[in-house]
């Protein structure tokens, strides 16, 4: 049982480039989400999904797209990277029943120059 996995661990992009951050979980969790964490700040929710085919926006969705074609995978796409998207990105998953304890991946550290 690998839990929540994220790839890559580190990535450097130039402004305007696109890329996809991968997230996968093997716990059959219905709920998956993406957070970003900037230095000295707490985590902020970007997008989330309550099941395959269903996604919704969190508090900071601009500049990011998501899709959920399977229960296991929840990729995060940056269409045109900007320096403001330099951050550490965490993916999380949980069951859709209380108490909703979330399991987090190890994170992807992204730098946009």
Q: Which residues bind another protein (CB under 8 A)?
A: 4, 31, 33, 35, 41-45, 48, 58, 88, 90, 92, 94, 96, 98-107
Instruction: Tell me how far, at minimum, the Cβ of 3 lies from another protein, in Å.
Output: 10
Q: Please, which residue, 17 or 43, has the CB nearer to another protein?
A: 43
Instruction: Tell me how far, at minimum, the Cβ of 63 lies from another protein, in Å.
Output: 19
Instruction: Tell me how far, at minimum, the Cβ of 70 lies from another protein, in Å.
Output: 19
Strand pairing report for 87-94 and 4-7: unpaired
Among all chains, which residue has been given the structure tokens 């395959």?
A: 52
Q: Please, which residue, 2 or 14, has the CB nearer to another protein?
A: 2
Listed residue (56, 51, 2) closest to 30, CA to CA: 51
Instruction: Tell me how far, at minimum, the Cβ of 72 lies from another protein, in Å.
Output: 17
Measured distance CA(9)–CA(106) in Å, rounded: 8
Q: Please, which residue, 30 or 73, has the CB nearer to another protein?
A: 30
Residue 35 near residue 92, CB atoms below 8 Å? yes
Q: Please, which residue, 19 or 50, has the CB nearer to another protein?
A: 50
8-47: string of b/e by CB count within 10 Å (b at 16+)?
eeebebeeeeeeebebbbeeebebbbbbbeeeeeebeebb
């Amino acid at each position: 049982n690998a839990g929540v996995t994220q790839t890559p661990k580190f990535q450097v992009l130039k402004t305007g480039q696109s890329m996809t951050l991968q997230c996968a979980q093997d716990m059959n969790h219905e709920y998956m989400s993406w957070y970003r964490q900037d230095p000295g700040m707490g985590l902020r929710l970007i997008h989330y999904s309550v099941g395959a085919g269903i996604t919704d926006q969190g508090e900071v969705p601009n500049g990011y797209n998501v899709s959920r074609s399977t229960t296991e995978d929840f990729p995060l796409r940056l269409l045109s990277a900007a320096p403001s998207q330099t951050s550490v990105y965490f993916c999380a998953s949980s069951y859709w029943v209380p108490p909703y304890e979330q399991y987090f991946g190890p994170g992807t550290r992204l730098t946009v120059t």
